[in-house]
Structure 1
Amino acid sequence: MKKFAFMMSLFQASVQTVLMAFLLALPTVANAQKELLKFEHPLIDAGTMTEDDAPRTFTFVGKNVSKKILHITQVRTTCGCTSSYVKGDVMKPGDTCQVQITFTPNRYPGTINTGAFLYLKEVEGQPAVKLALTGKVLPGADVWARYPHKMGALRLKQAMASITEVKPGTQPSARILCGNSGEKALRITSLLLPPYARLTTEPEVLEPGDEADLVITIIADLIPATMPETFTFPVILEGLDARPSDRTLQVSVSRIK
């Protein structure tokens, strides 16, 4: 896949940069860990998995090395691909806790760079501990899994678009990332648009394996005065081998008069 492979390389490069920044920040937490809550392994290597793998749970074990009772008030994960669970949120001196981070690889190919910020009642204004999870996720069998909406050969990130704060004299737009999963070039149009709407793709022709933007533009001055401030209309895409109901986008518009 032409652009897909290129975008993946850019994605991995940028993630590696962020990972380095995240890891460089870890030493700044070491002092807090020595004084209050210490994790022997604040960074866990998850190894290599694929997008098709089931979610995996990793356990970070911390110990209260202070001389007072500690209270974990919050564990905030850094990515929608993770969730957290805490065992032992109240610890007497010498007690331990377990912070479980569950990572879901589906739709997250590339370098794993995630983790969690742990907050204590006894540490105000900042996380007391940063936990990190690293590794690698290989693409699954369906390389278009990141595009859950299927309209014939066209795969889309979403099937709805929202255009807000539409003011007189403006032409705001919304973009939906899509890709051609088929073996033939696609040229997407729409024949039944209302007079105040326009549909284009960038680029105009989607070659097999390419990604593009569907761009929906609203011409505010052409919206009838009788229309409500907030309304929704359908956009039926042409050029796809699918039933009209299976190739329809929903567009919501909110106007400011």
Structure 2
Amino acid sequence: MSVTGRAVILGVAFIFLLAGKISVAGAQEEPLPPEVPFQPIQKLDIVVNPASKARIKFESDTFDFGSIPRGATVVHSFKFANAGQDTLEITSVRPTCGCTTAPLSSNKVAPGDEATIKAYFNSKNFNGRLTKYIYVNSSDPIDPYLKISFKATINDPLLPINMAPLEADFGSIVSGAPGIVKVTLTNAGDSPVDIRLIHESAPEMVKASPTSMSLQPNGNAELTLQLAAQDKSGELKESLTFDITGGQEGRFSLPWKAVITGQRQ
């Protein structure tokens, strides 16, 4: 091969080599895609049997207490049923806040049976509107991890009803003796309103009367709470929730408490 031919071949090879370097260099300079943050896998509490026919069904997975007094405890029972054909097991009930406890009536529910998760919320350290959550894990393979919630407004300034007192306190009562407390409800709004009891957290303990009433502006009515005789000593904290309709709408909860002591002589 002539010297000229070799020069041409070497020149072409050099051009291809140079193009490859430029291409590689250009590829290295392209920006990399943003790095996705590492997401650790959360450890689950249970291993769900996919063949299980247990089915959890809540009557309602949310509740609104409406306006509540700061510092009091309000209570709501979340009812659920096993709508399946196998025994339903509740493996954990976890409130997301130390302000809430949520005891479970039974952790095993037979097909067709019901149980409750009773949420106790202490409003001591809160103001304004809030929402709290409770996580429920079960053996239902379709919905093994559920979330129920409640909300409230601490001392809602827009509530047209004033309560006196803000919390019904039965005081100290000897075991086996009944108790009674009267609460005055006043319509502080400009329109007539209707008030109706919609939820009792412990209907077997306290009966409210009347359960519905109508109030004109500046009108008031007396609500009577009667505590049935209790056999076990200890502190009781429960609540009643009322809806307001008519000229103005709203909702409020009336907490009540009692301390049952000793034995009746």
**TM-score, normalised with respect to structure 1:** 0.41
Please identify which structure carries the higher strand content.
Answer: 2
Larger CA Rg, structure 1 vs 2: 2
